[in-house]
Structure 1
Amino acid sequence: MSSAVKWWARLSAAVTGAVLTLVVPVHAWAASKGVDGLAVEAAKYRRRRSGFGFFPIVGGLCCLLVVGGIVLAVVLISRNRKRR
């Protein structure tokens, strides 16, 4: 495995760990404070805009990038374990 791939794998693992370190406690805090119900209500009753808009496209691309990064991390980790 080239050094660039090893570096990329280490960087993606570090970023994934940092994101999970921040997201999981914040989610638990929000659920315990009742903020989750407020977010659900805001999502239910927001105004509907005519047309598709720009932000749903950006949100979809962001979601695809996150899912792709997770899949890439899993593939790189599983390939590295098979070679040992």
Structure 2
Amino acid sequence: MAYPMKLAKWWSRVAAAVTGAVLALVVPAHAWAASNGVADLAVEAARRRSRGGFGFFGFGLLCCLFVVGGVILAIVLISRNRRRR
């Protein structure tokens, strides 16, 4: 079996395991939050939060930009390494 085929088979197994684990944790947590009144509490907290700090461009957006930049950097570095061969 060629190396890329082994890698693809391994990657698909890991992806399936991670997907199963995430769904096993997220679905019950969502059901609990929907039936427990936590959703109303979260909506109320979102309405009352202060608008200080970064304002509209909050920490979540800044973190998202760093993650997207990291992914783009990884793709560029991987594509450069493939061109050299």
Normalised to the residue count of structure 1, the TM-score between the two structures is 0.62
For the pair shown, the structure with the greater C-alpha radius of gyration is 2
* Structure 2 unpaired stretches of 5+: 69-85
User: Which residue number in structure 2 is paired with residue 30 of structure 1?
Assistant: 33
* 1:26–1:61 Cα change, 3 Å: farther
* Aligned-pair identity (%): 57
* 1:43–1:28 Cα change, 3 Å: same
* 1:12–1:61 Cα change, 3 Å: farther
The offset of 1:53, in angstroms, is 4.3
Correspondence 1:14 to 2:46: no
Count how many residue pairs are aligned between Structure 1 and Structure 2. Answer: 63
Correspondence 1:43 to 2:28: no
Runs of 4+ aligned structure 1 residues displaced above 6 Å come to none
CA-atom RMSD, angstroms? 2.5
Report 1 or 2 for greater relative contact order, CA contacts < 8 Å, sequence distance ≥ 6. Answer: 1
* Structure 1 unpaired stretches of 5+: 65-84
